Chain A
Protein backbone atom coordinates (compact mmCIF):
# COMPACT_ATOMS: atom_id res chain seq x y z
CA UNK A 1 0.00 0.00 0.00
CA UNK A 2 0.95 3.65 -0.20
CA UNK A 3 3.33 5.02 2.35
CA UNK A 4 3.44 8.44 3.97
CA UNK A 5 3.60 11.18 1.38
CA UNK A 6 4.67 14.78 1.82
CA UNK A 7 4.43 17.81 -0.41
CA UNK A 8 6.16 19.75 -1.68
CA UNK A 9 9.43 17.85 -1.73
CA UNK A 10 11.35 21.11 -1.88
CA UNK A 11 10.32 24.63 -0.96
CA UNK A 12 12.35 27.80 -1.31
CA UNK A 13 10.86 30.88 0.28
CA UNK A 14 11.91 34.37 1.18
CA UNK A 15 12.42 35.39 4.77
CA UNK A 16 9.19 36.70 6.25
CA UNK A 17 6.86 34.70 4.01
CA UNK A 18 4.45 32.03 5.29
CA UNK A 19 4.73 28.40 4.16
CA UNK A 20 2.49 25.35 4.38
CA UNK A 21 3.80 21.82 4.35
CA UNK A 22 1.48 18.88 3.78
CA UNK A 23 1.53 15.32 5.06
CA UNK A 24 -0.68 12.45 3.91
CA UNK A 25 -0.36 9.61 6.43
CA UNK A 26 -0.93 5.94 5.78
CA UNK A 27 -4.64 5.21 5.63
CA UNK A 28 -5.96 3.99 8.98
CA UNK A 29 -3.08 5.35 11.03
CA UNK A 30 -4.42 7.30 13.98
CA UNK A 31 -1.14 8.81 15.19
CA UNK A 32 0.75 11.45 13.23
CA UNK A 33 4.04 13.15 14.10
CA UNK A 34 6.04 16.03 12.69
CA UNK A 35 9.81 16.16 13.15
CA UNK A 36 12.44 18.61 11.96
CA UNK A 37 15.91 17.62 10.77
CA UNK A 38 18.55 20.32 10.67
CA UNK A 39 22.32 20.33 10.63
CA UNK A 40 22.68 22.05 13.95
CA UNK A 41 19.92 20.38 15.94
CA UNK A 42 19.62 16.92 14.42
CA UNK A 43 16.17 15.30 14.47
CA UNK A 44 13.66 17.05 16.75
CA UNK A 45 10.07 16.27 17.61
CA UNK A 46 7.64 19.08 16.79
CA UNK A 47 4.03 17.98 17.27
CA UNK A 48 1.91 14.83 17.75
CA UNK A 49 -1.71 14.10 16.80
CA UNK A 50 -3.61 11.10 18.12
CA UNK A 51 -7.12 10.52 16.81
CA UNK A 52 -9.46 13.31 17.83
CA UNK A 53 -7.48 14.27 20.93
CA UNK A 54 -5.89 17.67 21.36
CA UNK A 55 -2.44 17.67 19.77
CA UNK A 56 0.76 17.62 21.81
CA UNK A 57 2.49 20.81 20.70
CA UNK A 58 5.34 20.60 23.18
CA UNK A 59 8.05 20.47 20.51
CA UNK A 60 7.04 23.51 18.48
CA UNK A 61 9.97 25.96 18.66
CA UNK A 62 7.95 29.18 18.54
CA UNK A 63 4.42 30.51 18.10
CA UNK A 64 5.19 31.02 14.40
CA UNK A 65 4.73 27.27 14.02
CA UNK A 66 1.30 25.66 13.98
CA UNK A 67 -0.22 22.47 12.64
CA UNK A 68 -3.62 21.00 12.09
CA UNK A 69 -4.98 17.65 11.13
CA UNK A 70 -8.26 17.60 9.28
CA UNK A 71 -10.64 14.67 9.55
CA UNK A 72 -8.05 12.60 11.33
CA UNK A 73 -6.06 12.24 8.13
CA UNK A 74 -4.12 14.91 6.24
CA UNK A 75 -1.98 17.28 8.28
CA UNK A 76 -0.60 20.71 7.44
CA UNK A 77 2.34 22.34 9.18
CA UNK A 78 2.34 26.10 8.83
CA UNK A 79 5.30 28.35 9.49
CA UNK A 80 4.52 32.06 9.60
CA UNK A 81 7.04 34.82 8.96
CA UNK A 82 9.77 32.35 8.09
CA UNK A 83 13.30 32.93 9.35
CA UNK A 84 16.58 31.57 8.01
CA UNK A 85 16.91 29.29 11.02
CA UNK A 86 13.71 27.55 9.89
CA UNK A 87 15.65 26.03 6.97
CA UNK A 88 15.55 22.29 7.53
CA UNK A 89 13.98 19.06 6.35
CA UNK A 90 10.53 18.59 7.83
CA UNK A 91 9.59 14.93 8.26
CA UNK A 92 6.15 13.52 8.88
CA UNK A 93 5.52 10.07 10.36
CA UNK A 94 2.40 8.09 11.07
CA UNK A 95 1.66 5.00 13.12
CA UNK A 96 -1.31 2.70 13.60
CA UNK A 97 -1.60 3.74 17.22
CA UNK A 98 0.42 5.38 19.96
CA UNK A 99 3.55 3.35 20.48
CA UNK A 100 3.43 1.31 17.30
CA UNK A 101 6.04 1.59 14.58
CA UNK A 102 6.35 5.02 13.00
CA UNK A 103 6.54 5.18 9.22
CA UNK A 104 8.28 8.23 7.82
CA UNK A 105 7.62 10.21 4.69
CA UNK A 106 10.41 11.45 2.41
CA UNK A 107 10.35 14.92 3.94
CA UNK A 108 10.05 18.49 2.70
CA UNK A 109 13.30 20.40 2.36
CA UNK A 110 12.62 24.03 3.29
CA UNK A 111 15.13 26.72 2.36
CA UNK A 112 14.57 30.25 3.61
CA UNK A 113 16.58 32.85 1.70
Chain B
Protein backbone atom coordinates (compact mmCIF):
# COMPACT_ATOMS: atom_id res chain seq x y z
CA UNK B 1 0.00 0.00 0.00
CA UNK B 2 1.09 3.53 -0.66
CA UNK B 3 1.00 6.42 1.76
CA UNK B 4 2.05 10.05 2.02
CA UNK B 5 3.08 11.97 5.11
CA UNK B 6 2.95 15.73 5.26
CA UNK B 7 4.33 16.90 8.58
CA UNK B 8 2.51 19.78 10.19
CA UNK B 9 -0.79 21.23 9.10
CA UNK B 10 0.15 24.87 8.78
CA UNK B 11 3.15 26.83 7.54
CA UNK B 12 3.46 30.61 7.73
CA UNK B 13 6.09 32.59 5.83
CA UNK B 14 6.71 36.24 5.07
CA UNK B 15 6.23 37.54 1.57
CA UNK B 16 9.50 37.09 -0.31
CA UNK B 17 10.72 34.31 1.97
CA UNK B 18 11.53 30.75 0.99
CA UNK B 19 8.63 28.31 0.92
CA UNK B 20 9.39 24.72 1.95
CA UNK B 21 6.59 22.18 2.26
CA UNK B 22 7.65 18.68 3.21
CA UNK B 23 6.37 15.40 1.82
CA UNK B 24 7.51 11.86 2.50
CA UNK B 25 6.06 8.85 0.77
CA UNK B 26 5.91 5.12 1.18
CA UNK B 27 5.59 2.89 -1.85
CA UNK B 28 6.58 -0.67 -2.72
CA UNK B 29 6.94 0.21 -6.39
CA UNK B 30 8.54 3.19 -8.11
CA UNK B 31 6.09 5.98 -7.40
CA UNK B 32 4.62 8.77 -9.41
CA UNK B 33 4.44 11.82 -7.16
CA UNK B 34 2.37 14.96 -7.40
CA UNK B 35 1.81 18.27 -5.69
CA UNK B 36 -1.63 19.85 -5.94
CA UNK B 37 -2.82 23.25 -4.73
CA UNK B 38 -6.33 24.06 -3.58
CA UNK B 39 -7.60 27.61 -3.26
CA UNK B 40 -10.68 28.23 -1.09
CA UNK B 41 -13.86 26.73 -2.51
CA UNK B 42 -12.08 25.44 -5.58
CA UNK B 43 -10.96 22.07 -6.85
CA UNK B 44 -7.40 20.82 -6.99
CA UNK B 45 -4.88 22.20 -9.46
CA UNK B 46 -1.75 20.31 -10.41
CA UNK B 47 1.45 22.17 -9.53
CA UNK B 48 3.95 19.57 -10.70
CA UNK B 49 4.56 15.86 -11.07
CA UNK B 50 7.42 13.39 -10.91
CA UNK B 51 7.16 10.46 -13.31
CA UNK B 52 10.63 8.89 -13.11
CA UNK B 53 12.40 11.27 -15.47
CA UNK B 54 14.40 14.18 -14.01
CA UNK B 55 14.53 14.17 -10.22
CA UNK B 56 14.21 17.96 -10.04
CA UNK B 57 10.79 18.90 -11.29
CA UNK B 58 9.69 22.41 -12.13
CA UNK B 59 6.05 23.34 -11.97
CA UNK B 60 3.77 26.30 -12.34
CA UNK B 61 3.93 29.56 -10.41
CA UNK B 62 7.66 29.17 -9.67
CA UNK B 63 7.35 25.99 -7.61
CA UNK B 64 9.71 23.06 -7.88
CA UNK B 65 10.25 19.77 -6.09
CA UNK B 66 13.09 17.29 -5.85
CA UNK B 67 12.59 13.53 -5.75
CA UNK B 68 15.05 11.90 -3.32
CA UNK B 69 14.70 8.14 -3.34
CA UNK B 70 17.14 7.61 -0.46
CA UNK B 71 15.07 9.87 1.75
CA UNK B 72 11.69 8.87 0.25
CA UNK B 73 10.96 12.57 0.01
CA UNK B 74 9.43 14.95 -2.49
CA UNK B 75 9.56 18.37 -0.83
CA UNK B 76 8.04 21.40 -2.53
CA UNK B 77 9.93 24.69 -2.64
CA UNK B 78 9.60 28.20 -3.98
CA UNK B 79 12.41 30.74 -3.57
CA UNK B 80 10.20 33.75 -2.89
CA UNK B 81 6.66 33.57 -1.52
CA UNK B 82 3.87 35.66 -2.98
CA UNK B 83 0.66 36.64 -1.23
CA UNK B 84 -1.20 34.73 -3.94
CA UNK B 85 0.52 31.49 -2.85
CA UNK B 86 -1.69 31.31 0.25
CA UNK B 87 -3.63 28.09 -0.19
CA UNK B 88 -3.72 24.44 0.84
CA UNK B 89 -1.12 22.12 -0.66
CA UNK B 90 -1.44 18.38 -1.07
CA UNK B 91 1.23 15.85 -1.88
CA UNK B 92 0.00 12.67 -3.57
CA UNK B 93 1.36 9.35 -4.80
CA UNK B 94 0.08 7.10 -7.56
CA UNK B 95 0.87 3.51 -8.48
CA UNK B 96 0.55 2.97 -12.19
CA UNK B 97 1.20 -0.75 -11.85
CA UNK B 98 -1.99 -1.20 -9.85
CA UNK B 99 -5.52 -1.78 -11.06
CA UNK B 100 -6.10 1.91 -11.24
CA UNK B 101 -3.96 5.01 -10.92
CA UNK B 102 -5.84 6.52 -8.04
CA UNK B 103 -4.14 9.24 -6.08
CA UNK B 104 -3.34 8.69 -2.42
CA UNK B 105 -3.09 12.07 -0.73
CA UNK B 106 -1.38 13.44 2.32
CA UNK B 107 -3.39 15.40 4.89
CA UNK B 108 -2.46 18.71 3.29
CA UNK B 109 -0.62 21.80 4.52
CA UNK B 110 -2.12 25.27 4.71
CA UNK B 111 0.34 27.94 3.61
CA UNK B 112 -0.13 31.46 4.96
CA UNK B 113 1.88 34.38 3.58
CA UNK B 114 2.42 37.41 5.80
CA UNK B 115 2.85 40.85 4.20
Q: List residues of chain A with CB under 8 Å of any chain B CB.
A: 4, 31, 33, 35, 42-45, 48, 50, 56, 58-59, 91, 93, 95, 98-99, 101-107
Contacts and interface: CB of A to CB of B under 8 A. Distances in A.
A43 B105 contact: yes
B36 to A, nearest CB: 8
Given A104-B43, A107-B42, 18 more contacts: A33-B102, A42-B108, A43-B103, A44-B105, A45-B103, A45-B104, A48-B100, A48-B102, A56-B100, A59-B102, A91-B43, A95-B101, A98-B100, A99-B32, A101-B46, A102-B103, A106-B42, A106-B43
If over half of A's interface residues share one DSSP class (helix, strand or loop), that class is named, otherwise mixed; here it is strand
Given A42-B107, A42-B108, A43-B90, A99 B101 contact: yes
Interface string B1-39: 000000000000000000000000000000010001000
B112 interface: no
Nearest to B102: A45
Nearest to B100: A48
B105 A42 contact: yes
